[in-house]
């Protein structure tokens, strides 16, 4: 399927070997002196080596763990960490954040950020970064593969052959061409999947809670129920939220056609697995493919249990939708780059819970980064600090949300330390640091 974009090999000679993303994004940091104190990075859940190497190239101290950590373990480990990198398992709660006195930023080396208390992080002046779509294609391709596997009962038939059974039959097996795929959540993954499914000859309908551009010949539906009752395959691509919790339960499954298939590679809280298991065993649904679960192990190993085990024509995978080498390498590079820019220059571009600011460094100056509660008079007080110390402000940018203000200001070197201390001592200040 040609997405219309040229592949690296087919690009014109001018950009036949495009500079790597990180090299482009970080090149301007060369003009900024490195941090005077060691920068400690804690990476959990086997973050890709690309990210590790980028941090090490910056001279940061990296600790890499293959697993996630419990809240208690995190509360201890995070005390002297400047940056933490996680994936979808590790839960960074308000309690953990209240122990993170040195934490400058959080990197979600994945799409989802529901595992972080974003409001608590914002109110504590900690920006959170993610990789909004680097594993989109990986998930979409997995779903396409599973649709064919379910439609041909491939896993059950293959298991039979491995066990010495030769059972050749076309009963209950169908082409996917001409069948209807119902997509719930038409965002990055849902829309990419829509294009791939249509390229396989499927009809695509979808439901989203916001107006979105239907790609190709796909058709928006007015309700979830409309998608459920008109689809041969229903696939879920919504975020974890109070609204999506158990959005597919016994009542919704009963609305689905007899023999239809349910696929979920979004979040484990979206589907009531007991209701799904009952519908598979009763024969109402023809099969399911599940990649995410309400409770998932914090590390690889045995002992995983789910009500879906041994259900007919049911594909179970261990949250691998984004687990391809291509996706993990891109994510590692993208999120590590954003975190390095935050540490080295205060850039918050691509932060999901912060004003997105990036200011070119002003030569022969020091940079002060201040996060404060967004209350009246803060900027007046900060500017009075500059005026009263005869400090020349060479660049100043303020971004705000309802709860916080984020200020990047380049000032004279001569008075920068004194000014930084005065700003940090203002009552609304949450975090203040200086870059030399
Ligand atoms: N299994 C995996 O490995 C894997 C990989 C990547 C992403 N994910 C999960 O998939 C989710 C979707 O990823 P994405 O990149 O497409 O996100 P996205 O934010 O681009 O798209 C999500 C879409 O869902 C819609 N939505 C939200 N609530 C809804 C509701 N109640 N009903 C219908 N639509 C609703 C949103 O409007 C949005 O258009 C992520 O939040 C993540 O949790 C899982
Ligand atoms: O949010 C995501 O991108 C997916 O759930 C992938 O999570 P993972 O990085 O833990 O595989």
H/E stretch holding 282 reads helix 273-282
Tokens matching residue 49: 């080596």
**Which listed residue (48, 82, 267, 366) is catalytic?**
267
Query: What pLDDT does residue 436 have?
Result: 83
Query: Is the model's pLDDT at 9 over the cut of 80?
Result: no
Nearby residues of 23 by Cβ (< 8 Å), 6 or more positions away: none
> Annotated catalytic, 433?
no
Which protein residue's CA is at the shortest distance from atom 9 of ligand 1? 266
Establish whether residue 88 lines the binding site of ligand 2, counting it when its CB lies within 6 angstroms of any ligand atom: yes
Q: How confident is the model at residue 431 (pLDDT cuts 50, 70, 90)?
A: very high
Query: What pLDDT does residue 36 have?
Result: 80
Query: Is the model's pLDDT at 1 over the cut of 80?
Result: no
Ligand in closest contact with the CA of 130: 2
Q: How many CB atoms lie within 10 A of CB 325?
A: 9
Read out DSSP for 309-347?
TT-TTEEE-SS-TT-SHHHHHHHHHHHHHHHHHHHHH--
Q: Check if the beta carbon of residue 201 is closer than 8 Å to that of residue 1.
A: no
Q: How far apart are CA 333 and CA 52, in angstroms?
A: 9
Q: How far apart are CA 57 and CA 48, in angstroms?
A: 15
Q: Check if the beta carbon of residue 122 is closer than 8 Å to that of residue 404.
A: yes
**Of 20-24, 131-135, 182-186, 294-298, which gets the smallest average pLDDT?**
20-24
Q: What fold, for 366-434?
A: Alpha-Beta Plaits (3.30.70)
Q: Can you tell me the mean pLDDT for 219-237?
A: 98
Nearby residues of 404 by Cβ (< 8 Å), 6 or more positions away: 122, 123, 125, 354, 355, 371, 372, 373, 374, 430
**Which listed residue (48, 123, 319, 366) is catalytic?**
319
Q: Looking at ligand 1, which atom is closest to the CA of residue 132?
A: 15
Query: Is the model's pLDDT at 333 over the cut of 80?
Result: yes
Establish whether residue 365 lines the binding site of ligand 2, counting it when its CB lies within 6 angstroms of any ligand atom: no
Query: Is the model's pLDDT at 14 over the cut of 80?
Result: no
Establish whether residue 87 lines the binding site of ligand 2, counting it when its CB lies within 6 angstroms of any ligand atom: yes
Query: Is the model's pLDDT at 86 over the cut of 50?
Result: yes
Which protein residue's CA is at the shortest distance from atom 10 of ligand 2? 88
Tokens matching residue 367: 């940079």
pTM comes to: 0.91
Query: Is the model's pLDDT at 99 over the cut of 50?
Result: yes
Give the distance (Å) from ligand 2 centre to CA of residue 320: 8
Q: How far apart are CA 307 and CA 368, in angstroms?
A: 54
Displacement of CA 374 from its chain's centroid (Å): 27
Query: What pLDDT does residue 4 have?
Result: 41
366-434: same fold as 136-316? Answer: no
Tokens 């979600």 belong to residue: 108
Q: How confident is the model at residue 25 (pLDDT cuts 50, 70, 90)?
A: confident
Tell me if the domain spanning 136-316 has CATH number 3.30.70.890.
Answer: no
Boundaries of every domain in the chain: 8-134+325-345, 136-316, 366-434
Q: Check if the beta carbon of residue 100 is closer than 8 Å to that of residue 75.
A: no
Q: How far apart are CA 202 and CA 200, in angstroms?
A: 6
Query: Is the model's pLDDT at 65 over the cut of 50?
Result: yes
Tokens matching residue 295: 């409770």
Question: What is the C-alpha radius of gyration for the chain, rounded to an integer number of angstroms?
Answer: 25
Q: Considering the chain, what percentage of its residues have pLDDT values greater than 90?
A: 89
Q: Considering the chain, what percentage of its residues have pLDDT values greater than 70?
A: 96
Query: What pLDDT does residue 18 have?
Result: 41
Give the distance (Å) from ligand 2 centre to CA of residue 16: 31
- Cα torsion through 255, 259, 265, 269, rounded to 10: 40
Q: How far apart are CA 354 and CA 116, in angstroms?
A: 14
Query: Is the model's pLDDT at 15 over the cut of 70?
Result: no
Q: Can you tell me the mean pLDDT for 425-430?
A: 97
Query: Is the model's pLDDT at 284 over the cut of 80?
Result: yes
Query: Is the model's pLDDT at 45 over the cut of 70?
Result: yes
Give the distance (Å) from ligand 2 centre to CA of residue 238: 13
Query: What pLDDT does residue 6 have?
Result: 42
Query: Is the model's pLDDT at 365 over the cut of 50?
Result: yes
Query: Is the model's pLDDT at 386 over the cut of 80?
Result: yes
**Of 31-35, 325-329, 359-363, which gets the smallest average pLDDT?**
31-35
Mutate-to-test residue for ligand 1 from 238, 318, 327, highest number of ligand atoms within 8 A of CB = 238
What ipTM score was computed for the predicted complex, to two decimals? 0.99
Mutate-to-test residue for ligand 2 from 91, 109, 110, highest number of ligand atoms within 8 A of CB = 110
Q: Can you tell me the mean pLDDT for 338-342?
A: 97
Give the distance (Å) from ligand 1 centre to CA of residue 110: 12
> Annotated catalytic, 389?
no
pLDDT (tens digit per residue) in 390-425:
999 999 999 999 999 999 999 999 999 999 999 999
Query: Is the model's pLDDT at 16 over the cut of 60?
Result: no
Beta bridge partners of 410: 367, 395
Q: What is the mean pLDDT of the chain?
A: 93
Q: Looking at ligand 2, which atom is closest to the CA of residue 110?
A: 3
Tokens matching residue 43: 């990476």
Q: How confident is the model at residue 29 (pLDDT cuts 50, 70, 90)?
A: confident
Give the distance (Å) from ligand 1 centre to CA of residue 103: 28
**Which listed residue (73, 141, 296, 358) is catalytic?**
296
> Annotated catalytic, 82?
no
Beta bridge partners of 182: 205, 234
Query: What pLDDT does residue 35 have?
Result: 79
Query: Is the model's pLDDT at 167 over the cut of 60?
Result: yes
Q: How confident is the model at residue 434 (pLDDT cuts 50, 70, 90)?
A: very high
Terminal-residue alpha carbon distance, the chain: 49
Query: What pLDDT does residue 193 have?
Result: 98
Ligand in closest contact with the CA of 85: 2
Establish whether residue 264 lines the binding site of ligand 2, counting it when its CB lies within 6 angstroms of any ligand atom: no
Query: Is the model's pLDDT at 122 over the cut of 80?
Result: yes
Query: What pLDDT does residue 2 have?
Result: 41
| CATH code given to domain 8-134+325-345 | 3.40.50.720
Query: Is the model's pLDDT at 259 over the cut of 80?
Result: yes
Query: Is the model's pLDDT at 87 over the cut of 90?
Result: yes
Mutate-to-test residue for ligand 2 from 137, 321, 327, highest number of ligand atoms within 8 A of CB = 321
Q: How many CB atoms lie within 10 A of CB 428?
A: 17
Establish whether residue 344 lines the binding site of ligand 2, counting it when its CB lies within 6 angstroms of any ligand atom: no
Q: How many CB atoms lie within 10 A of CB 25?
A: 18
């Amino acid at each position: 399927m040609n997405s219309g974009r040229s592949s690296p090999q087919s690009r014109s000679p001018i950009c036949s070997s495009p500079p790597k993303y990180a090299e482009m994004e970080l090149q301007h940091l060369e003009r900024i002196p490195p941090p005077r104190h060691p920068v400690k990075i804690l990476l959990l859940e086997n973050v890709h080596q690309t990210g590790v190497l980028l941090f090490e190239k910056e001279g940061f101290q990296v600790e890499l763990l293959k697993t996630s950590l419990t809240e208690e373990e995190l509360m201890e480990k995070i005390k002297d960490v400047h940056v933490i990198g996680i994936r979808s398992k590790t839960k960074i709660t308000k309690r953990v954040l209240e122990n993170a006195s040195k934490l400058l930023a959080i990197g979600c080396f994945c799409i989802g950020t529901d595992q972080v208390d974003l409001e608590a992080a914002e109110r504590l002046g900690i920006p959170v970064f993610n990789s909004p779509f680097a594993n989109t294609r990986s998930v979409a391709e997995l779903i396409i593969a599973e649709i064919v596997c379910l439609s041909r009962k491939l896993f059950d038939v293959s298991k039979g052959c491995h066990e010495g059974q030769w059972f050749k039959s076309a009963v209950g097996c169908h082409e996917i061409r001409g069948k209807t795929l119902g997509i719930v959540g038409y965002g990055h993954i849902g829309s990419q999947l829509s294009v791939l499914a249509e390229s396989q000859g499927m009809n695509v309908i979808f439901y989203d809670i916001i107006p979105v551009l239907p790609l190709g010949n796909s058709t928006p539906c007015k309700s979830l129920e409309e998608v459920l009752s008109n689809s041969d395959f229903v696939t879920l691509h919504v975020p974890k939220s109070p609204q999506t919790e158990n959005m597919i339960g016994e009542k919704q499954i009963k609305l689905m056609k007899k023999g239809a298939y349910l696929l979920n590679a979004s979040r484990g809280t979206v589907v009531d697995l007991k209701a799904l298991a009952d519908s598979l065993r009763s024969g109402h649904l023809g099969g399911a493919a599940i990649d995410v679960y309400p409770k998932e192990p914090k590390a690889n190993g045995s002992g995983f249990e789910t009500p879906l085990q041994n259900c007919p024509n049911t594909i179970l995978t261990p949250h691998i939708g984004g687990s391809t080498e291509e996706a993990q390498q891109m994510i590692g590079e993208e999120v590590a780059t954003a975190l390095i820019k935050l540490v080295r220059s205060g850039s918050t571009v691509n932060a999901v819970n912060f004003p997105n600011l990036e200011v070119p460094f002003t030569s022969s100056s020091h940079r002060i980064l201040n996060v404060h509660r967004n209350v009246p008079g803060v900027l007046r007080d900060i500017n009075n600090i500059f005026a009263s110390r005869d400090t020349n402000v060479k660049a100043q940018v303020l971004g705000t949300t309802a709860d916080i203000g984020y200020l990047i200001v380049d000032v004279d070197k001569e008075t920068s330390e004194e000014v930084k201390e005065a700003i940090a001592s203002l009552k609304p200040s949450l975090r203040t640091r200086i870059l030399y």
